[in-house]
Chains A and B, each alone.
Chain A
């Protein structure tokens, strides 16, 4: 069938710069560039271009420009090019439209409608270059109070404590499975976590045996609906266990890793036959209600001798506050809330773009509900899904989160350019692929260095913002909505966020 689709991108070659070296042919996995028959010229088929910019960055002569295809249909504010193209694609293929990464729709970004406070005159700002500025964060359940026994010079804590995790910055790496991403990308996340003093989540693809000893202590191992790679050693080698109920990019549905990506090593790690599809059911088939979740939480705690905090990750959906309250009562130590901007390696476009609620609203609602019920200290909250910069981190924490997960931002640090083609397995940057030729493009050591740099840069910026507010420890920002003001928000939005408007 002849395709009616317009191209997405166009490639412009600066002929006076190009010397036909052929790097572009080698770098592009999409088949845009090819040699002519006698290898004297390079042909360009820009209709195949996804805009990943790999060729542009690696062209030694800076001879390439990749830009959005500017030809379009008659302008129409309702029947946009995207709408028309989607219909044409479905008419040609008859299937669900697949996409990668978080939603790109122009919904209101609440982070961009919140401004931060700073000290002037009545209290001093604190200079992070001269004074300590503390970002250390504890994740896990806290007791109602401490009972302390003092005998002469000896002080003893009588209260039994729950296991907590320590991170040196309130930024952790979100679950991205080995399988969805390459071993090198996975390894880079693990190495960076270890170096910086934070944690990474394995996602649902297990943790390769050869990584357990070294990176288990900085891993949050996931137990998802497919139960891939879950065994006692996996659970016990980790810092914490995360039960994944939902994902912001596709709330309410499961996952599907195509058999082509299930290589020998992935097959061993996930404990499924090589080359078979790895299907994660939409629900956990042993969790049809909250009491079932509680049983799984305690089964995992039993299996790990009550030494590890158990996380429960849910997508931010309409009744997120009530659901979160139930999860705390079910025994979770940490709740991860994944907003509708959360990333994915593959999701039906319709789910990604139309299901869920913004993370800012979800965090504010959950934090407020747990406080009203007097159980906020019984769990930590991790905000996930669409955290783009250090200011987003600060705003999420001031709204009520203990820490954040970053996924997309971490992948961008590794090279990702948000071309949204993760589901094809042809990632030109070696991140979202199992093709050994592509995966080797990502050097885990260099990747880890980029990730550590990102964490350091954001942490420095967070310290600047804290110091400006006259705060020298991150815990004094948590839930401190006094330091936030809304701009361009309606009354109901301010009310849900629990913040005042600018100038109020």
Chain B
């Protein structure tokens, strides 16, 4: 398997996300159909899916999807040993795959349902921060082992191939969830690197991303100050860490975070009323290193929420659609219409304006608690 040659990759992609805001779970058929419709947005070098509400029977445990490159037995043993020493492993198994699927050289995928066993200094960490620390350890220290998802009641399935091939390989149509996001990749390099596929995940946060971040170096080096180290060598990792820092750790809502990552122009800010002007100016001043520059669209999800956002001058596409409780986000309107022809509403958001889907309150209770 070839590891990427560059610090970041260069790509254009197809994105799709669908959420049932009533919390109703549905299988992966619809999202696979939508991705097929956008086949030409990828080139077969990466596809993947994130599913929320995936493991209701283990919903209180972190589920680690671990990729073992080249089926390296030492890596698997080391991961087992490391997890056993740091967590209670409630259940673990190989992730079932379909050997007839059209993929080349798939690595081994294993899932562990775990509960943190904090010792010593680690006792001061929250469960989430503890899990992040241990995930970072595996990703950086155990050769050939990568944690590709690490949230509760959710999971990521991804690899090298067109999304429909990856779907077949992991048999995602058998899984059910209330949010599905999907990604089809068109990298200009980094062939054959399964870890480079999207979605990218940390805890229950997933990002699918279409773009090339021209501020990568600035963003990466700022995030390093907060303990995030980019190991998967994709721009998307920067996105995911930025969301984790701002939303989970600093508890800022997406409405504010959107104005940090994709702030309005100074010319607009200068003409705002005093109160808004002060807010936007302060956001830009303090979070300047997290302005994500260059062309990008992301669909981000975590439990209870899915949102789409583009860069400040909207250099990559996104379309939103609604039908009842269903909210769609997609690189192309055609993909939405392919799976839901009679939409209540379809629209194209402005650059830097987030489209936010949240579970309604009843559903929130059902799913999250």
> Do A and B interact?
yes
Q: Which residues of A approach B to under 8 Å, CB–CB?
A: 119, 121-124, 126, 131-132, 134, 136, 138, 142-143, 145-148, 150, 155, 157, 161, 164, 371, 374, 376-377, 398, 469-473, 475-483
Q: Is the CB of B315 within 8 A of A143?
A: no
Residue of A nearest to B269 (CB): A136
Q: Tell me the smallest distance from the CB of B291 to a CB of chain A, in Å.
A: 6
Given A122-B212, A138-B285, A475 contacting B11 (CB threshold 8 A): no
Chain A residues, Cβ within 8 Å of B250: 145-147
Chain A residues, Cβ within 8 Å of B279: 155, 157
Total A-B Cβ pairs within 8 A: 109
Q: Is the CB of A124 within 8 A of B315?
A: yes
Q: Is the CB of A476 within 8 A of B291?
A: yes
7 new A-B contacts at CB < 8 Å, known A123-B214, A377-B225, A478-B288? A122-B11, A122-B188, A132-B266, A147-B250, A473-B288, A476-B215, A478-B218
A155 to B267, CA, bound (A): 21
Given A122-B10, A473-B291, A479 contacting B218 (CB threshold 8 A): yes
Given A164-B285, A480-B218, A482-B216, A471 contacting B293 (CB threshold 8 A): yes
A398 to B221, CA, bound (A): 12
| Interface hub of B225, B226, B250, B265 (most chain A Cβ within 10 A) | B225
Q: Is the CB of A478 within 8 A of B8?
A: no
B199 at the interface (CB under 8 A from A): no
Q: Is the CB of A371 within 8 A of B221?
A: yes
Q: Is the CB of A161 within 8 A of B282?
A: yes
Q: Tell me the smallest distance from the CB of A139 to a CB of chain B, in Å.
A: 10
Residue of A nearest to B252 (CB): A148
Q: Is the CB of B293 within 8 A of A472?
A: yes
Chain A binding site: helix, strand, loop or mixed by DSSP? loop
Q: Is the CB of A377 within 8 A of B217?
A: no
Interface residues of B in 287-327 (CB under 8 A from A): 287-289, 291, 293-295, 312-313, 315
Given A138-B288, A374-B225, A471 contacting B252 (CB threshold 8 A): no
Given A377-B289, A473-B291, A157 contacting B266 (CB threshold 8 A): no
Q: Is the CB of A123 within 8 A of B295?
A: yes
Chain A residues, Cβ within 8 Å of B291: 473, 475-476
Residue of A nearest to B5 (CB): A504
Q: Is the CB of B214 within 8 A of A469?
A: yes
Nearest 4 interchain pairs by C-beta: A476-B215, A482-B217, A475-B288, A480-B217
Q: Is the CB of A146 within 8 A of B252?
A: yes
Q: Is the CB of B11 within 8 A of A479?
A: no
A13 to B94, CA, bound (A): 91
Chain A residues, Cβ within 8 Å of B2: none
Q: Is the CB of B225 within 8 A of A371?
A: yes
Chain A residues, Cβ within 8 Å of B188: 121-122
Residue of B nearest to A145 (CB): B250
Q: Is the CB of B267 within 8 A of A471?
A: no
B104 at the interface (CB under 8 A from A): no
B283 at the interface (CB under 8 A from A): yes
Residue of A nearest to B311 (CB): A472
Chain B residues, Cβ within 8 Å of A145: 250, 286
Chain B residues, Cβ within 8 Å of A470: 212, 214, 293-295
Residue of B nearest to A477 (CB): B218
27 sampled A-B residue pairs with Cβ under 8 A = A122-B188, A122-B212, A123-B211, A123-B214, A123-B294, A123-B295, A132-B267, A134-B265, A138-B285, A145-B250, A146-B250, A148-B252, A148-B256, A155-B256, A157-B282, A371-B221, A377-B222, A377-B289, A470-B294, A471-B215, A476-B215, A478-B288, A479-B221, A479-B289, A480-B215, A480-B217, A482-B217
A142 to B287, CA, bound (A): 9
A122 to B11, CA, bound (A): 7
A479 to B221, CA, bound (A): 8
A245 to B265, CA, bound (A): 38
